Amino acid sequence: MKLTTRKFDALIIGAGGAGLRAALQLSNGDARVAVVSKVFPTRSHTVAAQGGVNAALANVLPDSWHWHMFDTIKGSDYLGDQDAIEYMCRAAPKVVYELEHFGVPFSRLDDGGIYQRAFGGQSQNFGKEQAARTCAAADRTGHAILHSLYQQNLRARTHFFDEYFAIDLIKDEAGYVLGVVAFEILSGEPIVIEAKTTLIATGGAGQIFRTNTNSLSNTGDGMAMALRAGVPLEDMEFVQFHPTGIAGRGMLITEGVRGEGGFLINSEDERFMERYAPQAKDLASRDVVSRAIAIEVREGRGCGRNKDHVLLDMRHLGADMIMKKLPGIREMSMTFLGVDPIEKPIPVFPTCHYSMGGIPTNRDGQVVVPVKDTPEDPVPGLYAAGEAACVSVHGANRLGGNSLLDILVFGRAAANHILEFLKDNRYHRPLPQGSVDQALERLSRWERKGDGEAVEPLRQELRKVMEDHCGVFRTAEVMQEGVDKLRVLRERIANAVIRDHSQTFNTARIEAMELENLMDCAMATMCSALGREESRGAHSRVDFPERDDERWLKHSLYSLLDDSMDYKPVRTQPVSVESFPPKKRVY
């Protein structure tokens, strides 16, 4: 079979904020750029980011990038790499002003400056008074950013492969990544996209959990591709459970509700966050709030007939304010629950929201792997950015408003490094046919007919195993059982079949390949969580309740080969300022 082959300087897999920001930088830098996306670009999950983007503009309250840096490191429970965090916080105002020039309609102050909102975990003067650092375009910042970036990319003539599914990376024997094998969803035809550089920007893997806030497309495709190419995944045990998902549905109720004065109550009508975080109360960091809710429910103070959630109360804000400032939240609650928050509080429970872990990169977006004694050796030609990557700026816990910042800063930084790389690597390397054939084999594997389990029940089972064995509370016993169950599932998935073998828009085949990706990401998450015998940030172990800096101030690296774990040091040295040494996190 003659394969269609296309050649580009740079290939971006994923068309969310990170991918589009990188693509724009590259197209404007005169590189020939292709973006591959399994859904139409503006249907990427960035569109769902409601909150905003953090930058120390000091438009509302005094602020500095250094305070932002401190908050991010503290928020990360000291697992974030301080050089990358400094880089991000310093770059933040610049990327926000760039967005403004790209056409993002930020909410304004009366004087015309960009309005900034207070979010959890933000402080002035290194942990003192509340700061206001989040720039927002009403409650649809992600939407505004994604659409502006997409339009800018059209203007810059970025080439889009819309509705193409990336199967696997192409890698030669010297270790260079040379593009991807994909297929067109419309025709089912495979295509080889050769590129001198490849950036993975496929977002997170929230769909590994049954209750989550992510769109159905967040199946960790890029993370799994990296694993199969021999790249370990970093810090996958750190999964952020957003404290306020709509109970039983998964959708997120933005932190903005608590920012505007909403608070959490238990079945005894108690504002229980006052006990857990006396100063910050309901605006404490997300992991603190998530754990508090889970404890309330575990200790029998949950609400509802199954006592399995708590309530988010905003009745005291009044109808006018709710309708003016939080109209979207009210509609959501009424549509999905039949509850009007003006009259009744909203049932909420922690829901999987964000993967702090991902493909290990340095602050230039280069994917880095341990080679002999070097913990961070760049993989030539391979980059990652956004939620798919682990730079690591979020460490063990991400602060609200820092994920949009992450995708913009490191999408841009990766593109800048790619432009440099392209100067020294002007020609395409020979295509390794073996690597291409291997990817095609992954595609043709689903042509298999005969007996075998169906994909959808296996997917449901996988997500249930993750929820039951790797949720907010974790013990060795529960997780070991989870690993065993996942291993059995992995075998069953290897023998699964699909009934539809058509070529045109064969969604069954896509879902099957997504399931394989989910499986690899789930195993990475469970094994990493089992390995880390401490509680830090979003990773909370019942059997190891304390943070243990002596043994565990290090990054986890899960490798697909034998499900093995390795570790590498945290970069505690910033670029230009003094290091922030680990301290107990109190809000």
Taking CB under 8 A as the criterion, the residue among 25, 44, 158, 240 binding another protein is 44
Cα–Cα distance measured from residue 253 to residue 577, given in angstroms and rounded to the nearest whole number: 36
Range in contact with another protein (rule: CB under 8 A) among 82-90, 214-222, 413-421, 475-483: 214-222
Per CB under 8 A, 322 contacts another protein = no
Per CB under 8 A, 504 contacts another protein = yes
Q: How far is the CB of 331 from another protein (least distance, A)?
A: 4
Q: Report how far Cα 462 is from the mean position of its chain's Cα atoms.
A: 19
Question: What are the b/e assignments for 543-574, b being 16+ CB within 10 Å?
Answer: ebeebebeebbbbbbbbbeebebebbebbbeb
Q: Lay out the site mask for another protein across 152-181 (x = CB under 8 A, - = otherwise).
A: -----------x------------------
Cα–Cα distance measured from residue 250 to residue 338, given in angstroms and rounded to the nearest whole number: 15
82 or 214, CB closer to another protein? 214
Q: Report how far Cα 553 is from the mean position of its chain's Cα atoms.
A: 22
Per CB under 8 A, 146 contacts another protein = yes
For residue 221, which of 201, 240, 199, 241 has the smallest C-alpha distance? 201
Per CB under 8 A, 388 contacts another protein = no
Per CB under 8 A, 47 contacts another protein = yes
Per CB under 8 A, 563 contacts another protein = no
505 or 567, CB closer to another protein? 505
Cα–Cα distances (Å) from 457 to 87, 269, 284, 314, in that order, read 44, 39, 38, 38
Taking CB under 8 A as the criterion, the residue among 7, 140, 344, 490 binding another protein is 140
Per CB under 8 A, 42 contacts another protein = yes
Per CB under 8 A, 458 contacts another protein = no
Cα–Cα distances (Å) from 478 to 443, 470, 529, in that order, read 35, 8, 11
Per CB under 8 A, 46 contacts another protein = yes
Per CB under 8 A, 495 contacts another protein = no
Range in contact with another protein (rule: CB under 8 A) among 23-31, 246-254, 278-286, 374-382: 246-254
Per CB under 8 A, 531 contacts another protein = no
Report whether 249 contacts 258 (CB < 8 A): no
Q: Report how far Cα 23 is from the mean position of its chain's Cα atoms.
A: 19
Per CB under 8 A, 505 contacts another protein = yes
Range in contact with another protein (rule: CB under 8 A) among 117-125, 128-136, 497-505, 545-553: 497-505
Spell out the residues 6+ positions from residue 129 whose beta carbon is closer than 8 angstroms to its own: 61, 123
Range in contact with another protein (rule: CB under 8 A) among 97-105, 212-220, 316-324, 431-439: 212-220
Per CB under 8 A, 143 contacts another protein = yes
User: Which amino acid does the sequence have at 144?
Assistant: A
- Strand, coil or helix: 381: strand
Q: How far is the CB of 39 from another protein (least distance, A)?
A: 5
Per CB under 8 A, 267 contacts another protein = no
Strand partners, 569: 554
For residue 24, which of 202, 134, 144, 160 has the smallest C-alpha distance? 160
C-alpha angle 103-105-108 in degrees, rounded to nearest 5: 135
Per CB under 8 A, 247 contacts another protein = yes
187 or 573, CB closer to another protein? 187
Whether a cis peptide bond, with omega within 30° of 0, leads into 392 is: yes
60 or 321, CB closer to another protein? 321
Taking CB under 8 A as the criterion, the residue among 113, 304, 432, 582 binding another protein is 304
Range in contact with another protein (rule: CB under 8 A) among 151-159, 288-296, 477-485, 501-509: 501-509
Per CB under 8 A, 465 contacts another protein = no
39 or 368, CB closer to another protein? 39
142 or 232, CB closer to another protein? 142
Per-residue tokens: 312: 């988010």
Spell out the residues 6+ positions from residue 541 whose beta carbon is closer than 8 angstroms to its own: 474, 475, 476, 532, 533, 534, 535
Spell out the residues 6+ positions from residue 306 whose beta carbon is closer than 8 angstroms to its own: none
Cα–Cα distances (Å) from 139 to 134, 135, 136, 523, in that order, read 12, 10, 7, 35
Catalytic residues: 286
How many residues form the binding site for another protein (CB under 8 A)? 47
Q: Which of residues 329-348 bind another protein (CB under 8 A)?
A: 331-332, 335-338, 347
89 or 332, CB closer to another protein? 332
Cα–Cα distance measured from residue 390 to residue 385, given in angstroms and rounded to the nearest whole number: 8
Per CB under 8 A, 576 contacts another protein = no
Per CB under 8 A, 212 contacts another protein = yes
Report whether 405 contacts 92 (CB < 8 A): yes
345 or 380, CB closer to another protein? 345
Per CB under 8 A, 134 contacts another protein = no
Taking CB under 8 A as the criterion, the residue among 13, 20, 26, 39 binding another protein is 39
Where are the strands (E) in 273-373, listed by range?
Answer: 310-313, 346-355, 359-360, 366-371
Report whether 234 contacts 359 (CB < 8 A): yes
Spell out the residues 6+ positions from residue 64 whose beta carbon is closer than 8 angstroms to its own: 56, 58
Q: How far is the CB of 248 from another protein (least distance, A)?
A: 3
Q: Which of residues 180-199 bind another protein (CB under 8 A)?
A: 185-186
Per CB under 8 A, 217 contacts another protein = yes
- Strand, coil or helix: 212: strand
Residues forming contacts to another protein in the complex (CB under 8 A) are 39-40, 42-48, 140, 143, 146-147, 163, 185-186, 212-217, 246-251, 304, 308-309, 327-328, 331-332, 335-338, 347, 500, 504-508, 510
